[in-house]
A and B are shown apart, each in its own frame.
Chain A
């Protein structure tokens, strides 16, 4: 706990003794008390869901704004069976492409107004408005229209039928209060005052935001889906996740989302006040080979245009060993470009083996031989050398880069590192100005949008940095996405797509993260949903007999 341990210090004791008379009165008792301080790496930019891209913003706004329905514990994004009602009490399909939601009559904005179908239509309009310029706009492209039937009934019409229609309808949008935002000019949404003091309809109410310091939310005791147990939740901002972990271990915070390194996990496990919660990570990391010439997408890359060379480099990489070095047991070697969150994750997917002998033979066969004895293979007088682009902001990737450099050197390949800050990394990756890059993706709960965006021509100029293009993979992905309602059929298609991609080796898939959160032990019933670790926060609680004085503080 942030408090009990701190009080062991001599100085605070002396100070507290001196000002004991000024201490605030303590009073809250029972099941609905308690304050949880979350140390967050970073700070939200604005508390208005359509115009923010930060994960920490999502964590906060998910307590303030509800969706129509949310993912269930299974994380299944196909069909609507596994979704749980939030603002919508129920729904039905009027036609194959017409989905009707009936809002819960009890739902209220925190200023007392009822949540209506007009709010839902307004929200869709805002998310898809180019003036608002939401980055979620493209996720809603299959929704043709959202209209109201009456004040509590809203109708979604889709452009076509597909298995994840329901997911698209409910997952991307947090419903917004039309009566408070209608008058705000759309082009000013990114700077509206509402975004710094929002009024929501979720389990928590906004209390205060101290820039650079903290955001405080208070439980809405009248929340229609059940009163949250923790009375207050405070996010304490730190410059990065490592500082957040330091604050947790120093006793200044109650929870962090991820402990980041094996070392931190060990320290948290050794701390008698903390409980750790492993959960599937949503990120995967890889070395991506630029298949096009840097800066000129019309020509193939002089090295990586050669499929055999890419395959040789893949086989020369001992991914398991690299992973143990960097992550310990906090990640898995992915069987392709997959995050552990995706249901298509399957360790049985075939991929190229680690086989340095075969890699060496393949390199020799393709003409890469060390003719001058300098340890680096060459061909036509040119050494087998390339530059690896990575951001300085990622300690994990910097570690990987050095280990990879050494593994490739043993294979006779010279790798120079281009370590640049994230802004420049992003720019160069987008423009294709690199030989190879060390990239990570944080994925959505479903592969249906992320995979095509990253590994098919649909992502050219966007997330397909390597410009990988194999019509066979495209066909299989289309088939997998379209047949997702039939899980087995979809699984087979996904597997075939990933295996085809693996044979082409457009990248070396290094790690898929496994996260470990840490929460103070006095907080119980901690359930973490991997796609959004605080999605079930309102069920976390502190039993009355474990409340501390700070938990009881009245405000």
Chain B
């Protein structure tokens, strides 16, 4: 298990390094300058001086070398547009994105699993078909569009939820009372629901298929023959094995959640990494873009690592092989 973990960690670091390198060169090779806003483009001499300060007048490979040297010392650099250390900006944004992704993940899997099981139990009947079609409809919507629809209906028309932001700035400048915790959750609902619903729609389809596969197995028939109640057969005996493909999906959900967050954070003015990255890309704030890519890829890789570890926990066969040092490829065999 330890050897497997070490191998996976080394591979993960290599992946993150590759992402950072590709991002660095792609953002620098894209044309454009970090010189000023739409409000007031900087005068050329000011722009040139700013560029000199951030080293963007140097050859690209030299800039890359400097970036790696700084990174080696744990320094992500300074933002051109935000006028502050990138580590500070990311440190403020990461928790917000993480909470949003976590809430969306919760909705995704709780709702997805429940609907998938419901569909499997009622396979072929009206409930199954109806849920399946609605799930397909939601799944085919672009996530930002769904966000805009929810914003329009629940915030602008019905006024049930706020139209964006993280808390009420008047009553809850800081989250330090039960009221403000609820206020925060209230603000979190629409963005998390947007991301979670799209994920839940596909999770439900996977779960339905997995359950239908498992309930045909001999051991389930045996459980029924033993006279166990249907609920126990499904939730205790069948569900555990039907969860294996869903754990794989859990690993795959991370990239979706982080890329989805980029759009959703912009739609709902949620101050997370996605919004920070979008704004940095538009302003050609190279250090922030690279820093955000570094952290996002690290989190996605970590998510996959967790998913693989969970897989091993849920499936004893994989646990044994990993323990024997034969669990290469993350136990997906």
Residues of A within 8 A of B (CB): 2-3, 5-6, 8-12, 15, 18-19, 22-24, 35, 37, 42, 45-46, 51, 53-55, 130, 133-135, 137-138, 187, 190-191, 195-196, 208, 210-214, 216, 232, 234, 236-239, 243, 246-247, 249-252, 391, 393-394, 420-428, 430, 442, 461-463, 550, 553, 555
B314 interfacial by beta-carbon distance below 8 Å:
no
A196 and B84 contact, Cβ closer than 8 Å, known pairs A212-B275, A243-B269 = yes
Are A54 and B39 in touch, CB under 8 angstroms? yes
A213 and B46 contact, Cβ closer than 8 Å, known pairs A9-B160, A247-B163, A251-B159 = no
Partner of A135, one of B42, B89, B155: B42
Among B39, B170, B177, B271: residue with most chain A CB under 10 A: B170
Q: Which residues of A are found within 8 Å of B326, using beta-carbon distances? A: none
Report A198 CB to chain B, min CB distance, Å: 13
Q: Which residues of B are found within 8 Å of A22, using beta-carbon distances? A: 177-179
Whole-angstrom CA separation of A19 from B168 in the bound complex: 15
What DSSP secondary structure best describes chain A's contact surface?
mixed
Are B160 and A10 in touch, CB under 8 angstroms? yes
Partner of A5, one of B30, B83, B159, B161: B159
A238 and B269 contact, Cβ closer than 8 Å, known pairs A6-B162, A19-B179, A135-B43 = yes
B21 interfacial by beta-carbon distance below 8 Å:
no
Among B93, B158, B164, B267: residue with most chain A CB under 10 A: B164
CB 8 Å contact bits of B72-116 with A (1 = contact, 0 = none): 000000100111110001001100100000000000000000000
Are B165 and A138 in touch, CB under 8 angstroms? no
Number of A-B contacts (CB under 8 A): 184
Among A54, A252, A393, A420: residue with most chain B CB under 10 A: A252
Residues of chain B in range 290-315 having any CB-CB distance to chain A below 8 Å: none
Residues of chain B in range 259-300 having any CB-CB distance to chain A below 8 Å: 266-267, 269, 271-272, 275-276, 278-279, 281-284
Q: Which residues of B are found within 8 Å of A391, using beta-carbon distances? A: 38
B32 interfacial by beta-carbon distance below 8 Å:
yes
Q: Which residues of A are found within 8 Å of B267, using beta-carbon distances? A: 243
B49 interfacial by beta-carbon distance below 8 Å:
yes
Q: How large is the interface on B (under 10, 10 to 19, 20 to 34, 35 or more residues)?
A: 35 or more
Report B160 CB to chain A, min CB distance, Å: 4
B31 interfacial by beta-carbon distance below 8 Å:
yes
Are B170 and A553 in touch, CB under 8 angstroms? yes
Q: Which residues of A are found within 8 Å of B49, using beta-carbon distances? A: 130, 133
Report B199 CB to chain A, min CB distance, Å: 22
A247 and B164 contact, Cβ closer than 8 Å, known pairs A9-B158, A53-B37, A191-B83 = yes
B151 interfacial by beta-carbon distance below 8 Å:
yes
Q: Which residues of B are found within 8 Å of A243, using beta-carbon distances? A: 164, 266-267, 269
Are B163 and A426 in touch, CB under 8 angstroms? no
Question: 22 pairs across A/B with beta carbons < 8 Å?
Answer: A9-B161, A10-B160, A24-B177, A35-B170, A53-B36, A54-B40, A135-B42, A137-B43, A137-B46, A213-B167, A214-B169, A214-B173, A246-B156, A250-B155, A250-B162, A252-B163, A426-B35, A427-B31, A442-B40, A462-B44, A550-B171, A553-B171
Are B50 and A11 in touch, CB under 8 angstroms? no
Are A426 and B169 in touch, CB under 8 angstroms? no
Report A362 CB to chain B, min CB distance, Å: 34
Are B92 and A211 in touch, CB under 8 angstroms? yes
Whole-angstrom CA separation of A192 from B332 in the bound complex: 51
Whole-angstrom CA separation of A211 from B158 in the bound complex: 29
Report A120 CB to chain B, min CB distance, Å: 23
A135 and B173 contact, Cβ closer than 8 Å, known pairs A6-B162, A238-B269 = no
Report B271 CB to chain A, min CB distance, Å: 3
- The 5 A-B residue pairs with the shortest CB-CB distance, nearest first, are A212-B271, A423-B32, A250-B163, A9-B160, A424-B32
Q: Which residue of A lies closest to B163 (CB)?
A: A250
Whole-angstrom CA separation of A391 from B39 in the bound complex: 13
A191 and B78 contact, Cβ closer than 8 Å, known pairs A238-B269, A393-B282 = yes
Report B30 CB to chain A, min CB distance, Å: 7
Q: Which residues of A are found within 8 Å of B155, using beta-carbon distances? A: 246, 250, 252
Are B31 and A424 in touch, CB under 8 angstroms? yes
Report A345 CB to chain B, min CB distance, Å: 21
Whole-angstrom CA separation of A103 from B284 in the bound complex: 42
B33 interfacial by beta-carbon distance below 8 Å:
yes
Report A39 CB to chain B, min CB distance, Å: 9
B196 interfacial by beta-carbon distance below 8 Å:
no
Are A239 and B151 in touch, CB under 8 angstroms? no
Q: Which residues of A are found within 8 Å of B134, using beta-carbon distances? A: none
Among B30, B32, B50, B278: residue with most chain A CB under 10 A: B32
Q: Which residues of A are found within 8 Å of B30, using beta-carbon distances? A: 424
Whole-angstrom CA separation of A314 from B31 in the bound complex: 31
Report B72 CB to chain A, min CB distance, Å: 22
B186 interfacial by beta-carbon distance below 8 Å:
yes
Residues of chain B in range 22-74 having any CB-CB distance to chain A below 8 Å: 30-44, 46, 49-50, 53
A37 and B170 contact, Cβ closer than 8 Å, known pairs A9-B160, A212-B276, A426-B32 = yes
Partner of B282, one of A11, A249, A423, A550: A423
B166 interfacial by beta-carbon distance below 8 Å:
yes
Q: Which residues of A are found within 8 Å of B129, using beta-carbon distances? A: none
Whole-angstrom CA separation of A249 from B96 in the bound complex: 25
Are B160 and A208 in touch, CB under 8 angstroms? no
B182 interfacial by beta-carbon distance below 8 Å:
yes
Report B29 CB to chain A, min CB distance, Å: 12
Whole-angstrom CA separation of A240 from B245 in the bound complex: 40
Q: Which residues of B are found within 8 Å of A423, using beta-carbon distances? A: 31-34, 282-284
Q: Which residue of B lies closest to A254 (CB)?
A: B170
Whole-angstrom CA separation of A553 from B43 in the bound complex: 44
Are A238 and B39 in touch, CB under 8 angstroms? no
Report B159 CB to chain A, min CB distance, Å: 5
Report A10 CB to chain B, min CB distance, Å: 7
Are A239 and B186 in touch, CB under 8 angstroms? no
Whole-angstrom CA separation of A216 from B82 in the bound complex: 18
Q: Using A24-B171, A130-B49 as known contacts, list a sample of 16 further A-B pairs with CB atoms less than 8 Å apart, ordered by residue number in A.
A: A19-B182, A23-B179, A45-B83, A55-B40, A135-B36, A138-B43, A190-B83, A191-B78, A236-B269, A421-B282, A426-B32, A426-B41, A430-B41, A442-B39, A462-B43, A463-B41
Report B187 CB to chain A, min CB distance, Å: 10
Are A239 and B278 in touch, CB under 8 angstroms? yes
Are A212 and B182 in touch, CB under 8 angstroms? no
A11 and B43 contact, Cβ closer than 8 Å, known pairs A51-B83, A210-B173 = no
Q: Which residues of A are found within 8 Å of B158, using beta-carbon distances? A: 9
Q: Which residue of B lies closest to A555 (CB)?
A: B173
Are A133 and B50 in touch, CB under 8 angstroms? yes
A550 and B32 contact, Cβ closer than 8 Å, known pairs A133-B50, A239-B275, A423-B284 = no
Whole-angstrom CA separation of A394 from B39 in the bound complex: 12
Q: Which residue of A lies closest to B84 (CB)?
A: A191
Are B78 and A421 in touch, CB under 8 angstroms? no
Report A227 CB to chain B, min CB distance, Å: 21
Q: Which residues of B are found within 8 Å of A422, using beta-carbon distances? A: 32, 38, 282
A239 and B37 contact, Cβ closer than 8 Å, known pairs A11-B160, A421-B32, A427-B31 = no
